[in-house]
Structure 1
Amino acid sequence: MGEFLTEIKGRINETHRSLRSAQAAGDEFLAETHASELEDLHRIAARNGIDTRC
C-alpha cells in the first residue's frame, strides 16, 4: 500500500494546486474540472482506507 498511498496523496496535492491556480486565473471550467477530479481522488482514497484529511 506504500506506493499507492504515496501516489494518491501526490495526485491529490498536485490536483489541489492546479485547482487553486485555475481559480486564481479565473478559469471556471478548468477549476470545475480539477474540483471534480479532486472529489474522485478523495473517493478512491476513502474506498482504500486512506485518510486524506490534512
Structure 2
Amino acid sequence: MDAFTAGLLQRIEATETDLTRARETGDEFLAEVEQGELEDLRRLAAEHGVEVTTAGV
C-alpha cells in the first residue's frame, strides 16, 4: 500500500470516528461538517481506485 492510499484510509477512519462522536453528543453542525468531509474523502478514494470498507457511518 502506498503512502497516499494509507493516508486516505486513515483520514476516512478518523472522520468516521469524529462523525460518530458528533452524532452521539448531539452536535448537529459538527455532524454535518464531518459528513461532508467523509463524502469528499470517499469520492477522492473512488476517483483513485482505493477500496474503502466503511464502519457503516
TM-score range, shorter chain: over 0.9
- What is the RMSD of the two structures over their aligned residues, measured on CA atoms? 1.1
Which structure shows the bigger proportion of residues in helix conformation?
A: 1
Unaligned residue ranges in structure 1 (runs of 5+): none
**Which amino acid in structure 2 is aligned with residue 29 of structure 1?**
F
Give the TM-score, by structure 2 length.
Answer: 0.89
**Which amino acid in structure 2 is aligned with residue 43 of structure 1?**
R
**Which amino acid in structure 1 is aligned with residue 47 of structure 2?**
R
Structure with higher RCO (Cα < 8 A, 6+ apart): 2
Deviations 1:14-50, CA, capped at 9 Å, x for gaps: 0000000000000001001000000000000000011
Aligned to 1:45: 45
Corresponding pairs, count: 54
Unaligned residue ranges in structure 2 (runs of 5+): none
Q: After TM superposition, what 4+ stretches of structure 1 lie above 6 angstroms from structure 2?
A: none
Query: Is 1:32 matched with 2:51?
Result: no
Q: Matches of 1:53 and 1:20 in 2, distance apart?
A: 16
